[in-house]
Amino acid sequence: MLEFNDATIRFYDSRDATEMMRFMAGCSLDETLRFELEAANSSPGGPQGQLGAKSGLRVSRLCLGTMNFGEPGRGHQGDWTLGIDDARAIFKAAIEAGLCYFDCADVYGIGASEKVVGALLKELLPRHDYVLATKVAMPMGRGANSGGLSRKHIMEGVDASLKRLGHDTIDHLVIHRHPHGIPGQVETPIEETLEALHDVVKAGKALYLGASSMFAWQFAELQLTARLHGWTEFVSMQNHYNLVYREEEREMNPYCLRTGVALTPWSPLARGILTGAYQGGFAGGSTNRSQGQDRGRTESLYRGEHVFDVAARVVEVGQRAGLQPAQVAVAWLLAQPGVTAPIVGVSRVEQIEALIQAAGAQLAPEDIAYLEAPYRPVDNLLSLGHS
């Protein structure tokens, strides 16, 4: 019996019904199987995964993070932000390689990132060919209700994001933190947040919901409260997870795996540490980001004594396997249970091309064990207020 995998469907999706029938009628079983095998290996960044068992949404194995696209000099990451013309080449390379999942947030560049992302996606792809995610919660100004997860800010924030994006619908709306974990904001009752998010979905302004960086018990409480009231549940968790910060393996990852929630980790390269950008220590920054104001945040996130030992092993394994350090780090993450699509950030075309290639790489079991061995437990950053 002929089986159809994701690659076959990608081929069919790219042609109209007449072409599809002509293709099927003209191929023997052996030819169809040969084509299927070739197609399966042709587009490592293409749609290969379901966004968890709680949704029917299909996404690429990598998601392009867009924090560094917007208006140079604007926002907390302004010293390493790329404008729309520089971003265009990266988007084109990602799209040509089959990547279709793009992650943004209202707070990136204080809205500038959403403007760039929305404009480029509309310019480069038909609407049905990509999945657009953005986030809400972080303060967008000094007003009393300019941030948080109150009904007022959710409704106003989503409308503002849609306007900046130039879209009618957000495919994947993510709350940037738990309602009680947003800097400088009051602790909104979770029922208020959940009902407002449900109303956004029912109004057609967002199709799916996701969450980011909170304690596992908090996420479980949100999910169960939503289910109790018949409100829309979250289909994904965008958590902080990589080779040098693995505390999520204790509770959040197992909970999501057990309940069918997709993991879409942020900072898979540990803000450049796992690419070699820091050259053995925080004082050795070799990029604009690692030498700029962002270095302080990186130091606050990665405190363990194991950090640069692991980074050195990533380089070593890469040399043995013929891979770049960043490719090793991403390949390791994609091999972890429940991980659907890590969110990768890049500043050059060759970086996204290399990471997409990593989506098809497989590390040897002994290399995985070697990479993991130096890790030592650290304080959960959520308890310190840094994540």
User: Active-site residues: which are they?
Assistant: 108
- List phi, psi (to 5°) of 105: -160, 150
CA atoms within 13 A on the CB side of 324: 19
Encoded tokens for 253:
């990852």
Encoded tokens for 335:
């091999």
Cα–Cα distance between 109 and 68 in angstroms, integer? 8
379: Cα separation from own chain's centroid: 23
Query: Pick from 243, 245, 376: which is nearest to 311 by CA?
Result: 243
104, 157 contact by CB (below 8 A)? no
Strand bridging mode 58-60 / 47-50: antiparallel
Residue identified by tokens 């060759």 is 350
Strand boundaries in 76-130, DSSP class E: 101-103
Q: What is the helix (H) or strand (E) element at residue 228, kind and residue range?
A: helix 216-229
What is the side-by-side order of every strand in the sheet holding 101-103? 262-263, 234-238, 206-212, 170-175, 131-136, 101-103, 63-65, 343-344
324, 354 contact by CB (below 8 A)? yes
